[in-house]
Amino acid sequence: WTRRPPRPLPTLLFSSLLFSSLLFYSILFYSILFFSILLLAQESTGCRVIGGYNCKSNSRPYQAAIVTGDKGNWRIYCGGSLVHPCWVLTAAHCRVCLGKYNLKKVEPMEQCMDIAEAITHPGYNKKKMDKDYMLIRLKPCAIITKAVNVTRLPTSCPSDGQRCTVSGWGTIKSPQNKLPPKMQCANVSIVPYNQCNKAYFGRITSHMLCAGVPQGGIDTCQGDSGGPLVCNGLLEGVVSWGKFVCAQKGNPGVYAKVCCVVPWIQSTIKKRQEQFSG
């Protein structure tokens, strides 16, 4: 099971040896093939949008990009959602630019801030990937514009089958690692709890939800971690984890369920804002 921040995919390293027989080559080939199949069957904690499309510019003003690198040549690390002009909600396993569309260009509407503070949910369990939430305080706060805006928090949890959208700059191929410069969007639906829990052998907790498509081929992936799952204009999920090979049939993406922690989000922001304003 793996989280979904971008990182080099596993590679196999071999010593330089002289092989004297065709039989040994054959054994080596089939051994690598066998273990590669086993590797690809493992679950992963990196996230991505696969099977999606280029988002329309400024169509996701709440989308945050947690990046490294230099302006005009950012490298994606995680995604996030602006829930307050001074605060971004992301995944706890991520460690900010707003108003971005193309990471390889300096864009007139972009706002890039330092991270002043990161607050992980007190119940976060890294091993189980449970309660995978983190709030990031921005310095300076964001300026609300056409390209940068806050998302709305839910007042109830989403229904099974509800249609939602995901977005981010995660890899668009799996298990290969191909990061797009432009933000990708995809349409998915909420998967019933029992169905998803069965697919992941009982690992789905009450603070997780699943979303995908029945036929596979569309999913978040490595690099999309922390990004938004939005249903009817409400932030319902935070990209968290899934299979190592993304977008497999029968294995939807797993998200941290936002409806469970709205009180924590609101109280944390309120308390910290009062401390800094006072």
Longest dimension (CA), the chain: 77
pLDDT at 251: 97
Write the pLDDT tens digit of every residue in 171-196: 999 998 999 999 999 999 999 999 99
Write the pLDDT tens digit of every residue in 38-79: 333 334 444 448 999 999 999 999 999 998 788 888 889 899
> Over the Cα atoms of the chain, what is R_g?
20
Measure the CA–CA gap between 244 and 75, rounded to whole angstroms: 21
pLDDT at 186: 98
Q: Which of 93, 130, 174, 219 is catalytic?
A: 93
- Lookup result for tokens 């294995």: 251
Give CA separation, 266 vs 95, 152, 190, 261, in Å: 21, 12, 25, 9
Q: Which of 44, 84, 121, 132 is catalytic?
A: 132
pLDDT at 164: 98
Q: Which residues of the chain have pLDDT under 50?
A: 5-48
Catalytic residue status for 132:
yes
Q: Which of 44, 81, 225, 240 is catalytic?
A: 225
Length of the chain: 278
pLDDT at 73: 86
pLDDT at 74: 86
pLDDT at 24: 34
- Lookup result for tokens 């990161």: 118
**Phi/psi at 213 (nearest 5 deg)?**
-130, 145
**Phi/psi at 56 (nearest 5 deg)?**
-75, 135
DSSP 16: -
DSSP-based three-state secondary structure for 274: helix
Cβ-contact 62, 89 below 8 angstroms = no
DSSP element (H, E) containing 161? none
- Per DSSP (E only), the strands in 85-133 are 87-90, 97-98, 111-112, 114-120
pLDDT at 82: 98
Angle at 225 between CA 187 and CA 263, to 5 degrees: 90
The one-letter code for the residue type at 278 is: G
Measure the CA–CA gap between 84 and 88, rounded to whole angstroms: 7
Catalytic residue status for 93:
yes
